[in-house]
Structure 1
Amino acid sequence: MSLLRLSAVVLLVFLLARGAQADDRVELDKAVQQLSATGWKNAQQIWEWAEPGYQETKSSALLADWLESSGFRVQRGVAGIPTAFTAEYGSGTPVIALLGEFDALPGLSQSSAPFREPVEGQQCGQGCGHHLFGVASAMAAIALSQQMHAGKLQGTIRYYGCPAEEGGSGKVFLVRQGLFKDVAVALHWHPGSVNTAGDRSSLARIAVRFRFHGVSAHASAAPEQGRSALDAVEVTNFAANLMREHMPEQARMHYVITVGGDAPNVVPSEAEVYYYIRHPSSEVVRQLYQRLVKCAEAGALATETRLEVVNEGGILELLPNAPLAEHLNKRLEKMLDLKIAPQELELAQRLQATLSQPQPLASVGEISHLGTELNTGSTDVGDVSWVVPTAGFTVACWVPGTPGHSWQAVACGKTDLARQGMILAAKVLANTVEDLMTSPDLIAAARQDFQRRTGNRAYAPLTEPDQKPPLDYRKRRASSP
């Protein structure tokens, strides 16, 4: 065969392969689209249930049942967490992980109205869009399983049902259980008010409750016989606020008083304050945490009360991965097709009018290139990223300018923009997993970057060595002495 004819044959094979791959992409996107009606129904249901961390019984079961009915091998109650599960399809390598969350936030009960309107009888709301997060990842996983069933992809897709991201450190316990030890790459996404994919880190965080036990007495007739647990909380908070002046520049510390007494004429015998402390470095967080504990010890000493420290664990800073982030950014940029539907324009404008920093509505169709800018939030995905190459992206599902953890974010959760964003996220995830399963070089590059960033540093969680998942952290009140 002549060199010319051989070249023509090679070119033909290449073009046929590219054509087949393009057809597979079309089929994959079509599969996601076909799942969208069921996905949107499930997302709205999880939005309405609005179950807080470790109490997402119905939400977890809905997703696990959906995946199981789609042919996935499901393991429920993993890592000692009733609402955590894994769902797996396929066999062999590579093993690609898709993360899915579904917990709601307390204090954010809200209807889908463009004004503040709590839902009667409901305390929580999907203020971080996790009702979309878990569903979109499941849609991507199911669409990929169909390609695998048809023999077009080889490997294993594993969905992780991840409860209690909001303060409960759910993924930390999955990592500690070794559930990611055979994973090649882990992918995640998140709803937001912008579209982003970048090589970004986040803040490490420790959560802790300081419970004080004092002595009750009549606040007017016998105040000298009382020892106020609330006074201990106030001393702790005063000391902690003085400590702020002497913390590193990027540190963050915030608290809420969760128990403070019931009647002004009774010296409170029980009180509790709940703290988060954060910094871009987990090592700095460890140091700041010890200083914060001393503030609470000072509160107990000054008020002659007994201190109980309830460490609810912590999460590491997110370890970025440049090759994965760059690839996700290209996928998101290529597939971005979001726009606010005409029938929801008035709703969007009314919500926009309630925002302190509104952005142009047209920006839902644009990419915000954040690069390596630090994400000042925290996520338990950080712990996953220290044991396996990990990357994620954000899709605009809220009116531009909407802050997370707000009633406006909850209100946006049932809009058509949220539905569009969920579908886009599922398509980006599915196509990226296909890229990984058919491109060993991309996985190798991600692994190389992971090894470069971790160096000789071993995974060292911020939880205590024998700490168990705080399954009741959304229910806790100071206990009786």
Structure 2
Amino acid sequence: MKSEFNHFCESFANEAIAVNYILAKNPEISGQEFESVKTIGAVLEKYGIPVEYEFCGLPTAFKANVVKVDNPQGRLVILCEYDALPDVGHACGHSASGSMSVLAALAFKHMADSGVAFNMDVDIIGTPDEEATGCKVDMVNQGVFKNYDLAIMVHLDGEETRPNSQFLALDCFRAQFYGKPAHGAGEPWNGVNAVNGVQIAIHAMDMLRQHVLPETRIGTWIINGGGASNVIPAFGELEVTVRHTERDYLNTVSEKIKHIFDGAALCTGTTVAYDYYGNSYDGMNQNEEATHLVERVMAELDISFMPGPADISGSSDIGNVSWQCAALHPKLRLAGEPKVCHAKEFADAMLEPTIEKTIVDGARIIGYTFVTLMEQPALLENIIAEFSASITTGK
């Protein structure tokens, strides 16, 4: 099966590479990937994979059945990301990582059409808006991944290759403070400065840093800080991102953040409204059996890697997926000098010739992982057993 997968992977590599270049040259930010999903869907449909658009009621999501068998011994799903970042484009590499997923799907489809016997179902799901609100969470909330035994996607990295990733749980808030306008020189005593509420909230969160566990991260930025120095601002707005390794502990920190908003309004005479911005992300539920499998696959493909999950860095909505089914998020290093993710040089790498081999390597990681499970179904049973135990114990 691996030989067959390689054959079709090579046959359709140019199609997937073309998808990457189209997306990289025409980046669409989170939730606005209308042309990107059309591009991906058109390639899948061109080669006989029917696509369900607006999957889960999400305008730029999709789902497609790649391989369907009677009495499957496993249900596997490839995840596909394709959103870009504001200003810097595909600086997280989703144009290429999404193309890897497309290439793996095309290879599996044509293996099945050529008569290769499958014993497991394979789907591909387009999961937009990872960089902002996290549409995988919406899918989790609708129970989508309860229908699968293992989900996988390969992400790019500027420094190292790893068989899996670790992520911090994340909550993001937006808080709006309301005051009363007045002339800053003529009658400042008649005004209520909404930005004072913003400032007090930020100072209080800085003080909170002393009293949270070391793994906690708190980031803020002022969205609206007034319009002129001689006007008492009637409105101020800030965004707060708070993260931690464990969801339960993060919930306690988030409650403290809410109390800070209320307290800042109380002591400045303002009023405040706040809510979560986007979906809350969970940390990654690690599956050692699945991670070790990808390590063996990378070794078989002669891809140099560091063992074990990568060090905790950011957050991703695949963390939520990993609590509904076993999930893998391997990281594949870009060629050349080290690069910083979310920087322009990372986006530029999506248009360099070296990205073509990286796309094929990523598709092979997905393909070999699934084929190994098909050839050795007991491995999938072990992955499922570990996942079930983690849910029971709340690991």
TM-score exceeds 0.5: yes
- Which of 367, 373, 385 in structure 2 is aligned with 1:430? 367
For 1:403 and 1:227, locate their aligned partners in 2 and report how far apart those are by CA, in whole Å.
43
- Deviation of 1:455 after TM superposition, in Å, equals 1.9
Q: 1:103 to 1:372 in 2, by over 3 A?
A: closer
Gaps (5+ residues) in structure 1?
A: 1-23, 109-124, 338-365, 459-481
Contact 2:176 2:272 in 1 (8 A): yes
Which runs of 5 or more structure 2 residues have no equivalent in the other structure? none
Tell me, what secondary structure is at the counterpart of 1:278?
Answer: strand
Query: What corresponds to 2:349 in structure 1?
Result: 412
| 1:188 matched to 2:165 | no
2:270 and 2:291 mapped to 1: Cα distance? 50
**Deviations 1:180-200 (CA, angstroms, capped at 9, x unpaired):** 122121112100124433465
Deviation sequence 1:87-132 (CA, Å, 0-9, x none): 1123242221001111112243xxxxxxxxxxxxxxxx11111111
Residue 73 of structure 1: SS of its match in structure 2? coil
Amino acid in the other structure paired with 1:41: A
> How many pairs does the alignment contain?
390
Match of 2:239 in 1: 274
Aligned to 1:4: none
Q: Which amino acid aligns with 2:99?
A: V
Corresponding position of 2:253: 288
CA distance in 2, matches of 1:199, 1:406: 22
- 2:123 counterpart residue number: 158
**Does the aligned pair in 1 maintain the 2:91–2:344 contact within 8 Å?**
yes
Identical positions, percent: 23
2 CA distance for matches of 1:268 and 1:389?
A: 49
SS in 2 for 1:455: helix
1:397 and 2:342 aligned: no
> 1:305 matched to which residue of 2?
270
Change in 2 beyond 3 A, CA 1:399/1:215: farther
Note if 1:51 corresponds to 2:28: yes
Give the distance between the partners of 1:402 and 1:394, measured in 2 at CA. Answer: 14
SS at match of 2:280: strand
Partner of 2:289: 323
Which residue, out of 75, 91, 94, partners 1:127? 91
Q: Per the alignment, do residues 400 and 319 of structure 1 end up closer, same or farther by CA in structure 2, a change over 3 Å counting? A: farther
* 1:87-166 correspondence to structure 2 within 5 Å: 87-92=64-69, 93=72, 94-108=74-88, 125-154=89-118, 155-166=120-131
2: CA distance, partners of 1:199 / 1:74? 28
Aligned to 2:383: 446
Q: 2:172 aligns with which of 200, 207, 213?
A: 207
Distance 1:281 1:81, change over 3 A: same
Name the structure 1 match of 2:220.
255
Measured in 1, the distance between the counterparts of 2:302 and 2:34 equals 33
TM-score, reference length from structure 1: 0.77
* Contact 2:164–2:330 under 8 Å retained in 1: no
Rg (Cα) greater in structure? 1
Residue by residue over 1:171-229, the C-alpha shift from the partner in whole angstroms, topping out at 9 and shown as x without a partner, is 01111112112212111210012443346532111111111222222222222222222
Distance 1:400 1:314 in 2: 34
